[in-house]
Structure 1
Amino acid sequence: MGSRVFVVGVGMSKFDKPGTKEGDYPDWVVEAGKAALADGSVRYAQIERAFVGYVYGDSPSGQRALYGLGHTGIPIVNVDNACATGSTALYLAREAIEAGLADCVLAAGFEKMERGSLGAKFPDRASPMDKHLETLQRLVTPENSPFAPQMFGNAAREHMREYGSQPRHYAWIGWKNHKHSVHNPYAQFQKEYSLDEIADATMIHDPITKLQCSPTSDGAACAVLASERFVEANDLWSTAVEITGQALVTDTESTFDATANCRTVVGYDMSKVAAEQAYARAGIEVSQVDVVELHDCFSANELITYEALGLAAEGEGHKLVEAEATTYGGAGPVVNPSGGLISKGHPLGATGIAQCAELSWQLRQAAAERQVPGARTALQHNLGLGGAAVVTVYQTPNR
């Protein structure tokens, strides 16, 4: 059994609309990194290695991003795993500590993005999404809408046909997450919309409207991870949050084979398997989870992922919406108190670490007006098509 692993410090820059944020990615990473180090009472000289995630940018931007914190000669590894990049950096940092290779590791993530829908950057070679698109085209007729909302919108349509969910269920998720973000100073959007405004916004791919889509964003986030030995030696228990279970799962045969459907193409089975593995490693049941940061790139993904994570039975995700179970005062765990990707923003490389930051604050009872009362067990879900799903369980530690 390896060392117990703790998140001891977290920090973020505010997430902003591309082109509106002052400075450049090294400035944002330094801002987030200094905040994380100060939060954990750790000096950069104590960091033994770092994993830096980003999707768009020249290599090795990770080194350039950290040079503003110091030049200590440590190994710096650049990480790219699509939208799961940030949580993959966390996964690698956790592995290094658990394996006894280091006692204090920095996980960082950032993105400087272009405005508008994401597209291919290298059309002269095989697309990492070609098998997904081939499978989807076998299932449905392509339409003239951006590929990402089309993929997740088709998953929603499939759920509507098979299980009876309705457009209003997906609109409610958009409404909830925008409402949650009002109290998040790091969120790109901090405006509450009415349910009608969410439902009547520009249609991107039926049933998903613009206000049910995560925006492109600029920003950075950092987390300092440490071993139990380091926490004890430096008396960091006041900020320590334990990672008790974590799993990274890539595409399975069901993404592409004859059993594939629109939901498996967008990662349902990856998320399900990763959740099961993370729960088992943490030794918990899903009923113990108090708060969740879930990869709501689109409202459709939040609803179907309720089922993949076991928060609802298969085909019953919309019943959580009917009961308003996933917001404050509901019967289920509060999902996306930060506002989620839909409202907080989605700078791809930073997203997974920003989720870690939010859940660390929640378990420390330090989330101010966003605080989920009495939260002790938290769940993080970060998804990247192409593909990877990372699910992490955090708990208030027992010393």
Structure 2
Amino acid sequence: MQQQHVLVAGVGMIPFAKPGASAPYPQMAAEATRLALADAGLDYADVQQAYVGYVYGDSTAGQRALYEVGLSGIPILNVNNNCSTGSTALWLARQAVAHGAADCVLALGFEQMKPGALGAVFDDRPTPFDRFDAATEALVGHAEIPLALRYFGGAGLAHMRQYGTPLETFAAIRAKASRHAANNPLALLRKPLSTEDVMAAPVVWPGVMTRLMACPPTCGAAAAIVCSDDFARRHGLRRDVRIRAQAMTTDGPATFEAGDMREVVGYSMARAAARQVFEQAGIGPQDVQLVELHDCFAHNELLSYEALGLCPEGGAAQFVADGDNTYGGRVVTNPSGGLLSKGHPLGATGLAQCTELVQQLRGQAGARQVPGARLALQHNLGLGGACVVTLYEAVEGAAA
């Protein structure tokens, strides 16, 4: 079936805030939606469908949020795919436009978080993570450490053991994130850090992780308006950024059969999604100028370099040492500062990544602008699990 080109006509996000310091979720979500509509030059009445993502909220919270913007009667679908929720909403919105079900669709993500480590809400039924928890217990133990740290710290430890990756490499990734965030007014943590600062932070897992190598929980919201090329032409919208390729994957047998924590945290999911995207687009990772990837921990950023094909397997430490993950290197990773600096409001993260990449491709990123940005890759991972990889392209000569 022939698919239509899908444009990103508008994006918007609000500054992320620490739990307890944000507005309630309906206000955050409504503000991000209004920003995206204003960026596109559209009214809410122009939107034909909405996909709304959040993890910690009751059913129809998407309606509660969007009713702050308008009561237009459109289909509103609520989406929950753990940390990949925001990009799952975008994936659904793109599908609707690509296959002609709608011409103009809103993807919205928000989260109102609580302080502290993530945990289950429903304790009277099986957790979706029971198989992941069992695999983690068998491979790394350390039941005294919060599970998210065990997942990603254990995956980083597997890389350290196989390739001799030093802990300082993860610290250098966090320091790089802080330098990028210093130029992002929407980042929560903007103080530049050195590798030594990160290494000197309180230890949460000896030899594996310091506190600064983990992203903080935050509250926030972000949104995107996607539309067909025909809709953009008819409404005089900007047509300078399109979604060139996109893929979503879930876990395969390797997750639980490989006996490798890297697989438990989605390495093969990410690799498969990236390969599908590059095949759809007819390009390779060497053609991409910038990437917003899922750095919930510095460890996962390093693993994602290899899963996305930005460097060879086992080559991530050298990739970092050579400065190929920042300005002046081969590909700028997380120019926004990433989750490590912005924080991670689960439902909003994927659409915050989208906002950053669209602004970069428009040349609107200010002091953090990546020179010559034409192709941008997004990687958003949710354990449980799902991974969404999206390739955005700046469209030459596309006037409104």
Q: Distance in 1 between matches of 2:173 and 2:61?
A: 35
- The residue type paired with residue 234 of structure 1 is H
2:380 aligns with 382
- 1:216 positional shift: 0.5
Cα shift readout 1:82-139 (whole Å, capped 9, x = no counterpart) = 0000000000000000110000000000000000111111111111111111122222
Count of aligned positions = 395
Stretch deviating more after TM superposition (136-145 or 292-301): 136-145
Q: Distance in 1 between matches of 2:46 and 2:126?
A: 42
- 1:140 positional shift: 2.6
Cα shift readout 1:182-205 (whole Å, capped 9, x = no counterpart) = 111111111112221111111122
Is 1:50 the counterpart of 2:54? The answer is no
- The residue type paired with residue 78 of structure 1 is N
1:173 aligns with 173
1:323 aligns with 322
* 1:182-193 → structure 2 map (5 Å cutoff): 182-193=182-193
2:209 aligns with 208
Q: Distance in 2 between matches of 1:180 and 1:145?
A: 30
Give secondary structure in 1 for the equivalent of 2:116: coil
Cα shift readout 1:3-50 (whole Å, capped 9, x = no counterpart) = 1001110001110101012x2111111111111011011111110000
Give secondary structure in 2 for the equivalent of 1:256: helix
Q: Distance in 1 between matches of 2:308 and 2:385?
A: 17
- 1:143 positional shift: 3.6
Q: Distance in 2 between matches of 1:203 and 1:352?
A: 29
2:304 aligns with 305
Query: Does the CA contact (< 8 Å) of 1:53 and 1:110 recur in 2?
Result: yes
Of all paired residues, the percent bearing the same amino acid is 50
Is 1:285 the counterpart of 2:284? The answer is yes
Q: Distance in 2 between matches of 1:187 and 1:388?
A: 25
1:5 aligns with 6
1:269 aligns with 268
Q: Distance in 1 between matches of 2:120 and 2:31?
A: 30
Cα shift readout 1:314-356 (whole Å, capped 9, x = no counterpart) = 11111111101111112x2100000100001100000000000
| Unmatched 5+ stretches in structure 1 | none
2:361 aligns with 363
- The residue type paired with residue 311 of structure 2 is A
Cα-Cα RMSD: 1.0
TM-score for both structures, normalised by structure 1: 0.97
Query: Does the CA contact (< 8 Å) of 2:172 and 2:194 recur in 1?
Result: no
1:344 aligns with 342
Stretch deviating more after TM superposition (164-173 or 134-143): 134-143
- The residue type paired with residue 152 of structure 2 is F
- 1:64 positional shift: 0.6
| Unmatched 5+ stretches in structure 2 | none
Query: Does the CA contact (< 8 Å) of 1:93 and 1:107 recur in 2?
Result: yes
Query: Does the CA contact (< 8 Å) of 2:266 and 2:381 recur in 1?
Result: yes
